[in-house]
Amino acid sequence: MRRPTLLLLGSLGLAALMGCSGSDSSSGPTYGYLVNGIAVADLDGNGLPDILGLVSNSVDGSPTPGYLSTRLQTSAGAFALPTRFGVGATPANFVLADLNGDGRLDLVVANASDASVTVRLADPAHPGAFLPATVLSTPGRTPLDVAVGDLNGDGLPDVAVAASGANSVLVFDQTTGGAFAAPVAIAVGGDPQAVAVGDLDGNGLPDLAVATSSNAVSVLLQTSAGTFAPAVDYATGVNPSALKVVDLNGDGKLDLLTANYGATAGPNTLGLSVLLQGATAGTFQAATTYATDYRSAALAVGDLDGDGRLDVVVANAGLPGFPGSVSVLRQDPANPGNLLPASNLLGLWGPLGVAIADMDGDGHPDLVVADGDITVRYQSATTPLTFGPPQAFYN
């Protein structure tokens, strides 16, 4: 797994609740936790963005069930205490999407150690909460990422899973109301690490993009409802571990962006690859790869400086013994689709996830980071692309 060392705690108590780090083997088992995924969404429908952190747990080094920690925003910049919703062991990544068409965001989590995917529908009686879990099994596979889209044309969102262990992406077709059929495996060009869904060729059908251990993104274009053309591979940087599908250069066509974790030995800092779409719909130009920092693990895209162009932020876990960083890459206003050199913000424990949202209502997007705990870096209201120190929220 692409994970730095978990934060260690002694016996459960105030230290665990406050998210402090440390260890005390004399007082009993050693507990560890780590926030390794992050998202921002208005879960409770009050018009304010809430924070969601995905937390892994361990006891004496062995994975135990994790949870999703939600902090609902009650007024601009003020958050309620966290509420936890259980998921599987070593939850690797998650996505929020309305699976059952009730207008509420549901939760889908890839659980690496459990060989499973957790699905929790939104609780209609309690805004911001989730119903008990449905578990989708991936025996013999290690789920690392999930994406949602109607992949068979029946009007119901399905779940795609990047599950390591075979050169295929798994698709769970939804049957009704949050229930799913057994998975269908679709061949890709390597061991899956991350997955995204989007209409890449503009034919009105959602396609699949899968980042693989072959240092490439496999693109599977949907030709008719539920039918995909054979995968076409496009080279990226080394070990792409996260993937976004977004129109970066504003030409109306979706592009591919990967965060590249790098080689096991002798990693480099070429942590962001951008593959702009070519002249032929659904094809992509050669990747442009940008320097970030070591062990790029996640990325987010948004207009940080209000110039109408999308910028990119990359979470870098860092090398052992170092706190990692967050790289901010502004889009070059003179060259659409090109990014200026990164500005790196020093991390705390090794950032593994990042999201972009205005968290204090001042009109300036901030950075929400999975960095050991949940942290927020507020953007200056007077100096664009200047961010304050991380403000930690225990999970």
Interval 306-351: pLDDT, tens: 999 999 999 999 999 999 999 999 999 999 999 999 999 999 999 9
Please give the full DSSP string across 36-75, using - where no structure is assigned: EEEEEE-SSSSSS-EEEEEEEEEETTEEEEEEEEEE-EEE
Q: Is the pLDDT at 176 greater than 70, yes or no?
A: yes
Question: Could you tell me which of 49, 70, 57 has the C-alpha nearest to residue 30?
Answer: 57
Measure the CA–CA gap between 269 and 275, rounded to whole angstroms.
Answer: 18
Q: Is the pLDDT at 7 greater than 60, yes or no?
A: no
Average pLDDT, the chain: 93
User: pLDDT over 70 for what percent of the chain?
Assistant: 93
With contact defined as beta carbons under 8 Å apart, do 356 and 301 qualify?
A: yes
pLDDT reported for residue 188 = 98
Contacts of 169 (CB under 8 A, 6+ apart): 160, 161, 162, 163, 185, 186, 188, 192, 195, 208, 210, 218, 220
Quickly state the pLDDT bin for 16 (edges 50, 70, 90).
Answer: very low
Give the HSE-up count for residue 363: Cα atoms under 13 Å, Cβ half-sphere.
4
pLDDT reported for residue 177 = 83
> What is the three-class DSSP state of 16?
helix
Measure the CA–CA gap between 254 and 202, rounded to whole angstroms.
Answer: 9
Question: Could you tell me which of 3, 121, 6, 61 has the C-alpha nearest to residue 372?
Answer: 6
Q: Take residue 96 and report the two structure tokens written for it.
A: 């929020």
Measure the CA–CA gap between 374 and 366, rounded to whole angstroms.
Answer: 13
Question: Could you tell me which of 159, 163, 194 has the C-alpha nearest to residue 175?
Answer: 159
pLDDT reported for residue 358 = 98
With contact defined as beta carbons under 8 Å apart, do 222 and 232 qualify?
A: no
Contacts of 248 (CB under 8 A, 6+ apart): 255, 257, 274, 276, 301, 310, 312, 331, 337
Q: What is the CA radius of gyration of the chain?
A: 20
Quickly state the pLDDT bin for 127 (edges 50, 70, 90).
Answer: very high
Phi first, then psi, for residue 309 (nearest 5°) are: -115, 145
pLDDT reported for residue 218 = 98
Q: Is the pLDDT at 1 greater than 80, yes or no?
A: no
pLDDT tens digit sequence for 57-96: 999 989 999 999 999 999 999 999 999 999 999 999 999 9
User: pLDDT over 90 for what percent of the chain?
Assistant: 91
Question: Could you tell me which of 33, 51, 30 has the C-alpha nearest to residue 42?
Answer: 51
Instruction: Name the residue with tokens 């591919």.
Output: 256
pLDDT reported for residue 87 = 98
Strand order in the sheet with 62-71: 7-9, 31-41, 50-59, 62-71, 83-89
Q: 10 Å Cβ neighbour count for 321?
A: 7
Mean pLDDT, range 182-198, rounded to an integer: 98
pLDDT reported for residue 6 = 55
pLDDT tens digit sequence for 25-46: 456 889 999 999 999 999 999 9
Mean pLDDT, range 169-182, rounded to an integer: 95
